[in-house]
Structure 1
Amino acid sequence: MPIKFVAAVLVSAMALSAPVRASETALQLTLTTQSGEFEQRVSRYDCATETPVQVTYVNAAPNFLAIVPVADEPEPLVFVAVLSGSGARYASGKWIWWTKGADASLYDTTLAEDADPVLTCSVVNNIP
């Protein structure tokens, strides 16, 4: 059973003589699941930042995604679940979002292998 997930992305267009212009474009991603089970869950995290970090999880086995806003990035990133010894670990480019129970951490893989997370969070609540 195909499941459709729609996310908006910001695309920048630039002409040689014109200033940078941004326009919004929709991206549609179809996830197929044999079980027909699909879950979308939003969690809000306290990360000792000005505002809570809101993460959307999309679970459609065998595909597990997390959409995470990252301060250094212009738009939220789509993370994909990867192998983890414990908790749930998601990767997007140089970033790792790792959740264990009510805690979550954001790692920059371009830093030293034993570097501390760039963001440490605790779940405030799950939003239906």
Structure 2
Amino acid sequence: MTTKSIAALTALALLAPLPASAVESTLQLQLSTDQDFERRTITYDCGAETPIQVIYLNAVPNFLAVVPIADEPQPLVFVSVVSASGVRYVSGHWVWWTKGPEATLYDATLGDDAEPLLTCSEFNDTP
């Protein structure tokens, strides 16, 4: 049996802020799968001036999303978790939930009934 390996995240800077004299570090994550893998970059319109780009890495059984969060110094790596509908990804207290072309960002510390911090739609530039 052959195993396909992918370097899923290359040169992802560590999330901790660095002092001016510190050397920048990188992190590489390698996922292996016996099946096909997919990397997709989706641009979302979240009502802000600048759209955001989310990278989805699907290598069964691992499903990841790399999401830029305004309050965070670097994009965060989210992992998929069980969801009744759509795909729910979590990273720390952040929840990125996709359903079809729509996505929402929640802060889990605000409670289950909290409104989303962002409501986004896939950017479609097709005329």
TM-score normalized by the length of structure 2: 0.86
Asked if the contact 1:105–1:121 (Cα under 8 Å) also holds between the matched residues in 2, the reply is yes
CA RMSD of superposed structures (Å): 1.8
> Which consecutive unaligned segments of at least 5 residues does structure 1 have?
15-19
User: After the TM superposition, which parts of structure 1 deviate over 2 Å for at least 4 consecutive aligned residues?
Assistant: 10-14, 20-26
Q: Which residue of 1 aligns with 2:62?
A: 63
Q: Which residue of 2 aligns with 1:9?
A: 13
Q: Which residue of 1 aligns with 2:32?
A: 32
Q: Which residue of 2 aligns with 1:72?
A: 71
- 1:40-67 per-residue CA deviation (whole Å, 9 max, x = no partner) reads 0000000011200100000000000000
Counterpart CA distance in 2 for 1:93 and 1:76 is 13
Residue identity matched to 2:69: V
Aligned positions of 1:86-125 closer than 5 A: 86-125=85-124
Residue 13 of structure 1 deviates from its aligned partner by: 4.0
**Identity over aligned pairs, percent:** 57
Asked if the contact 2:93–2:108 (Cα under 8 Å) also holds between the matched residues in 1, the reply is yes
Pairs aligned (count): 120
More strand by share: 1
- 1:77-101 per-residue CA deviation (whole Å, 9 max, x = no partner) reads 0000100111111000000000001
Residue identity matched to 2:7: K
Q: Which residue of 2 aligns with 1:17?
A: none
